[in-house]
């Protein structure tokens, strides 16, 4: 089983890299050199792909700007094209999506793409409105824990959809149309919130969504839907009201900047004792991260066009981190930050409350010399702010420790970037394979490493 999973992961990595023009799926990094320089982040992965799906709801073309060149965008592009949406790119970073010829797709095409992404589940609502049916095959994505689709299916049923499961996947129909519903999520899931929004905007009547996710990318998606003609009220206490409309038009929108990539480069600057200016990074979306970054000993300067992240000298400090939904500390931020915490003087604790398997990447870090102990049932703490969850885990990082080069395999998107940081910090040479997985969420990763003075070669 382990061999099969490793082979599948390697296959996914190669495909992901090929989609963005990576010429190799292995990188050799010579560590010990600080990252210094300037790079730019474009639109958020977690918004751009959802905005592309939203274009299915419009009767006229949509224009999405500042789109990153990442493999997830390529996957959604191919899926939209399979459904008859014309996708063009008149200039770098801009997509024009024309849905006037939407049609049913062949199962084989969707199935071939779905193994590399979890985005297909969000096609359900728009496809039900446009075609009256949605077929969702087995879903892929990073192997960081259970991401049940029950929230999605329960929400669709609340709208009046009929969900049938088979060996191929899930067939969803709405013979009596979709109608407004009262939905309360058991957890403020980003994906389930997106599902409700993309379904409710053209459902008949009013939908009330309680315990909704309110991430910046969610609010940016709401802004897009409002541009299209939707009526959406964001109320206090994670409540959203959506008044269904009969017709939506296309949109023109510039995607919100990718705060996850910005935080990743910030952690890389801190860990390598470097100095990196991240163009397009925005302070409001990074407030929680910036607090932890400063407490750990990092420094930053906010400018109109981005944020400078740097190591100011002296020793890094241990911190306690609890991941949570926005406005908490994002789960995507903890993996890159852990590398910097291996260089802090003292004991840091990271409580992971969102995904139960997100510490799997630490095994390779221990092999590189890190002192990290994972507690699979979590840890109690009198200073906790985030309520404990059944699935949570905790990682205790004791530093500083000298990291040494090693051969490692990228397990998932954020873990993969973390391995890059570890290799840049380590003494000696490291070889990282499955490099393509990093291209799922990091644009021009090789060009950016070059711009920051990293010492590496491909292959």
Could you give the residue numbers annotated as active site?
Answer: 142
Site of tokens 């077929």: 135
The answer to whether residues 221 and 197 touch, using CB atoms and an 8 Å cutoff, is yes
Angle at which helix 413-425 crosses helix 331-341, to 10 degrees, equals: 20
Phi, psi of 85 (to 5 degrees): -80, 130
CA dist., res. 25 & res. 22, Å (int):
7
CA dist., res. 241 & res. 284, Å (int):
25
State in Å, rounded, how far the first CA of the chain is from the last one. 27
Q: What is the CA radius of gyration of the chain?
A: 22
- Write out the two tokens for 348: 């840091």
Q: How many CB atoms lie within 10 A of CB 438?
A: 29
The answer to whether residues 209 and 180 touch, using CB atoms and an 8 Å cutoff, is no
Phi, psi of 271 (to 5 degrees): -65, -40
CA dist., res. 282 & res. 263, Å (int):
10
Which has the closest alpha carbon to 132: 171, 106, 183? 171
CA dist., res. 277 & res. 287, Å (int):
17
CA dist., res. 300 & res. 272, Å (int):
15
């Amino acid at each position: 089983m382990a061999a099969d999973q490793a082979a599948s992961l390697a296959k996914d990595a190669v495909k992901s890299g090929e989609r963005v023009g990576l010429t190799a799926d292995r990188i050799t990094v010579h560590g010990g050199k600080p990252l210094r320089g300037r790079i730019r982040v474009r639109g958020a992965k977690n918004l751009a792909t959802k905005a592309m799906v939203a274009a299915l709801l419009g009767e006229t073309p949509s224009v999405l700007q500042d789109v990153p060149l990442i493999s997830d965008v390529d996957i959604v592009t191919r899926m939209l094209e399979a459904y008859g949406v014309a996708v063009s790119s008149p200039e770098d970073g801009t997509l024009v999506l024309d849905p006037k010829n939407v049609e049913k797709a062949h199962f084989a095409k969707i199935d071939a793409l779905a193994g590399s992404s979890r985005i297909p589940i969000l096609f359900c609502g728009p496809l039900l409105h446009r075609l009256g049916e949605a077929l969702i095959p087995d879903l892929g994505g990073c192997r960081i824990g259970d991401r049940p689709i029950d929230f999605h299916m329960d929400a669709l049923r609340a709208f009046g959809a009929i969900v049938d499961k088979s060996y191929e996947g899930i067939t969803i129909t709405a013979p009596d149309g979709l109608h407004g519903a009262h939905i309360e999520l058991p957890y403020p899931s980003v994906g389930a919130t997106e599902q409700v929004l993309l379904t409710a905007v053209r459902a008949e009547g009013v939908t009330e969504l309680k315990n909704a996710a309110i991430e910046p990318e969610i609010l940016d998606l709401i802004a897009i839907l409002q541009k299209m003609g939707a009526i959406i009220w964001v109320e206090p206490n994670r409540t959203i009201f959506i008044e269904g409309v009969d017709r939506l038009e296309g949109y023109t929108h510039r995607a919100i900047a990718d705060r996850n990539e910005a935080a990743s480069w910030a952690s890389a600057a801190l860990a390598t004792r470097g100095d990196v200016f991240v163009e397009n990074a925005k302070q409001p979306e990074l407030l929680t991260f910036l607090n932890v970054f400063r407490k750990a000993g990092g420094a930053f300067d906010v400018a109109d066009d981005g944020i400078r992240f740097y190591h100011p000298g002296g020793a890094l400090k241990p911190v306690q981190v609890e991941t949570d939904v926005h406005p908490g500390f994002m789960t995507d931020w903890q993996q890159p930050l852990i590398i910097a915490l291996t260089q802090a003087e003292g004991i840091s604790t990271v409580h992971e409350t969102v995904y139960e398997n997100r510490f799997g990447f630490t095994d390779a870090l221990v092999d590189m010399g890190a002192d990290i102990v994972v507690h699979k049932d979590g840890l109690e703490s009198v200073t906790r702010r985030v309520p404990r969850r059944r699935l949570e885990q905790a990682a205790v990082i004791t530093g500083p420790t000298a990291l040494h080069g090693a051969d490692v395999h990228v397990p998932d998107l954020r873990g993969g970037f973390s391995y890059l940081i570890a290799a840049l910090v380590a003494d000696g040479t490291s070889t990282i394979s499955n490099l393509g997985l990093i291209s799922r969420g990091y644009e021009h990763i090789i060009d950016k490493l070059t711009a920051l003075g990293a010492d590496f070669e491909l292959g």
